Structure 1
C-alpha cells in the first residue's frame, strides 16, 4: 500500500519529514504541527510557530517562540527568557532538561 503523500513534496530530515500539510516523525503524524513553519532543530527536537516537539510529542517549554539551538558546551538549546536546555535521554524518550534539572 502506498502512502498518500506526493514524494516530490516530501522532505525528510533525520527522522522528520513534511509535506505541504503535515509533519511526520518516524512515519507518525505530529498532531497539530504547522508544516509551513516547522523546522527540525537537532535530531528529534523541532519546533513550529507555537510549540517545541520531541519526536511527535509537544514539549511545554517556557518560551517556544524564541526557543533555538545554541552551540554551548553545557547546553544545546536556549530561549530569549534566559532558559537553557540539555538534550537528554530519559525513560526511553528524548527530553530536554533545564539548568535547574527540570525535565520537559
Structure 2
C-alpha cells in the first residue's frame, strides 16, 4: 500500500490496522483473528482525520472494507481500496460495499 501511495504522489501520514489483524510470522500477510465479526474501523478513521489525512488506502477483509467505506466519506476522507486500480484497468465496478463476507464460527478456542 505504501507503493500505491507513492505511485499516486501521496505521502504516508498515518498507518493503522484492525485490532483483530494478526501477523502469524514476521513479514507474513496479516490475517483476521475473527473473520466475519468486524469490531468497526471508525476509531482508525478518527485517528486518520486527527493526523490530517485526506485519503485512506485500504486493503482488508470485506467486513472491514464495509465499515471503512461507510464511515470514511462521512468524515470527509476519500477512500481507495488497493484493488481499485486493477478494477479500473479491466472496466470492473469498484468495490465499495461487499455484500458477501465469510461466515465463520465466532467461538475462539485458546
Greater helix proportion: 2
TM-score tier after normalising by the smaller chain length = under 0.3
Greater RCO (CA < 8 Å, at least 6 residues apart): 2
Normalising by structure 2, report the TM-score.
0.22
Normalising by structure 1, report the TM-score.
0.23
Greater strand proportion: 1
